[in-house]
Structure 1
Amino acid sequence: MKKLLIISDKNEARSQMAEKWLNYYGKKHLKVYSAGINKGSISILAQKAMAEAVMDIPEYKSKLLSDLNEDTFDFVLCFDKGFSEKLPEFPGNPELSVFDVPNPAMVEGEENVKLQAYNVVCNAIDDACFIFMQKRFKIVQ
């Protein structure tokens, strides 16, 4: 089974969403991890957006890269193009994929406006994860 890491700054929203989608699409192919370089706390709006997509993540917690017991990965994914330029070196020369998905936490307004932004991001990450899996593992014939 291949190992995949989703890396982010604080492991608060996009990486958590991607972890759930990739666990769903890659259950027969991947062991999925997500972590941040810095410690954050998972966004309630990310949890709500995923729940609306019928992909609950209430048990997910923000994790630090330094806390993972894994030392090598086959794939590393990042959903923030700006942050991808700050990534550390990863042993084992994993395949790096970067997706430029906007940070929904940057959206201002009332909660319903913010939640809509998280829903858009949730859908974009779902699409990116499905395409990633299809290209590498042909999950749909």
Structure 2
Amino acid sequence: MKTVLFVCIHNSARSQMAEAYAKYFGAHYLRAFSAGIEPGKLNPLVVSVMAEEGVDISQQPCRSVADHLLAFGEPDVAITVCDEASAERCPQFSAGVQRLHWSFADPSALAGIAVDRLAATRTIRDQIKHRVRQWCQLCE
């Protein structure tokens, strides 16, 4: 079974969504985790839009990459889901770890009124869902 680690800045939004979808789409052949460069708190908008899809991430831990590595070791694949500059701050993995980068907007950085932030978070969720589904199909 292949292990994948989704990494973003605080493990509060994008990486959490990607982990949840990888667990759903790749349940029979992937072990999915997420972590952040620095742990934060789950983004309530992300919890809400995932619940709309029937996915409960409300009890997911927000952990750092360092904590993940101590608990679970290195993954087979590490996928950064933040912007390029933030991805460069990620810890280095051994040569055997495949590294991928998928850049998605940060729901925590959205501005505007609540209804607009919610709509934008749904768009980001759908982009992540689509990308994870495609990747999982390639891993079968």
RMSD, matched Cα: 1.2
Aligned residues: 137
**Cα shift at 1:92:** 4.8
* Equivalence for 1:75: 77
Cα deviation per residue 1:29-64 (whole Å; 9 max; x = unaligned)? 111111112120000000011111222211112111
The share of aligned pairs that are identical, in percent, is: 26
Distance 2:30 2:72 in 1: 14
Long gaps (5+) in structure 1: none
Contact 1:73 1:92 in 2 (8 A): no
The runs of at least 4 aligned residues of structure 1 exceeding 2 Å deviation read none
Q: Give the secondary-structure state (helix, strand or coil) at the position aligned to 1:113.
A: helix
Q: Please, which of 88, 92, 114 is the counterpart of residue 85 of structure 1?
A: 88
Long gaps (5+) in structure 2: none
TM normalised by structure 1 equals 0.91
Contact 1:71 1:91 in 2 (8 A): no
* Equivalence for 1:63: 63
Distance 1:67 1:86 in 2: 16
Distance 1:4 1:23 in 2: 10
TM normalised by structure 2 equals 0.91
Contact 2:83 2:105 in 1 (8 A): no
